[in-house]
Amino acid sequence: MQVPLLFNPIALNSIRINTPIQAAIVDLDGTMVDTLGDFAAALNGMLADLALPAITTATIEPMVGKGSEHLLNLVLKHALAQSAPAQAAINSEALFERAWDRYQHHYLAINGQFSQLYPGVLAGLQAMQQRGWKLACLTNKPTAFALPLLQAKGLDSFFSQVFGGDAFERKKPDPLPLLKTCEALGTLPQHTLMLGDSRNDAQAARAAGCPVLLVRYGYNHGEPVEAVDTDGLLDSLADLAQR
């Protein structure tokens, strides 16, 4: 029988988890896969279709994390502000429906082609799997984008459950997606570890009653992850191979 892991509170960069862990909920963008290249390719394809100026990857990075609809709204507002006066006067909401259609077209066409796994992701997932933890992927990315990406990167077999940002009525940082994912896994929140890269993940976990660890890399809206309330930070998911 697999014994639930009890983290040593002074190990792994001062991780402070003292409850048995039976499952993990893992974020996707910025935690397992660096998808900024995919975002840039799809967004710039969409902007070109709308005759709007291109956007840089550096500008996109702090916009990522609250779902594709939120990202698209921010990108449209930025592009319109950089446009000629006639275009700058256009309300981003008026363009959203067409922009969303073009964004989905481009993203599905290139999904995974300009992204890569972060170092240590496979080792971390394998370590959790070997401990007998139940694993779910929970992302604010639309499910239709998340599933093909997991398959393209060889990660889909690790997860018994995959939920995108359109799976529930609300997205992270609301706790509802985590609570629903715990229900699907058949585990209690206090025994279900949230692994993410941003304050969205941490806030959702705190509200749901899940312990939470964040990776030091990732996006986090351009803010230092050290300032987020968590139970600890990881340099890599491979850190979970240590006790």
Q: Catalytic annotation on 38?
A: no
User: Residue 213, exposed/middle/buried by CB under 10 A (0-12, 13-18, 19+)?
Assistant: buried
d(CA 166, CA 172): 11
DSSP 3-state of 55: coil
Per-domain residue ranges of the chain: 23-34+116-241, 36-110
pLDDT at 3 over 50: no
- What fold is seen in the domain 36-110? DNA polymerase; domain 1 (1.10.150)
**CATH architecture entry for 23-34+116-241:** 3-Layer(aba) Sandwich (3.40)
Report how far residue 195's alpha carbon sits from residue 187's, in angstroms, rounded to the nearest whole number: 16
Catalytic residue among 27, 38, 231, 239: 27
pLDDT at residue 222 in the model: 84
Pairing of β 116-117 and β 33-34 = antiparallel
Give this prediction's pTM. 0.88
DSSP β-ladder status, 233-234 and 161-163:
unpaired
Write out the binding residues for Mg(2+): 27, 29, 197
134-191 pLDDT, tens per residue? 999 999 999 999 999 999 999 999 999 999 999 999 999 999 999 999 999 999 999 9
pLDDT the model gives residue 85: 67
pLDDT digits (tens, 9 = 90+) for 84-130: 665 655 777 889 999 999 999 999 999 999 999 999 999 999 999 99
What pLDDT shows up at residue 6? 43
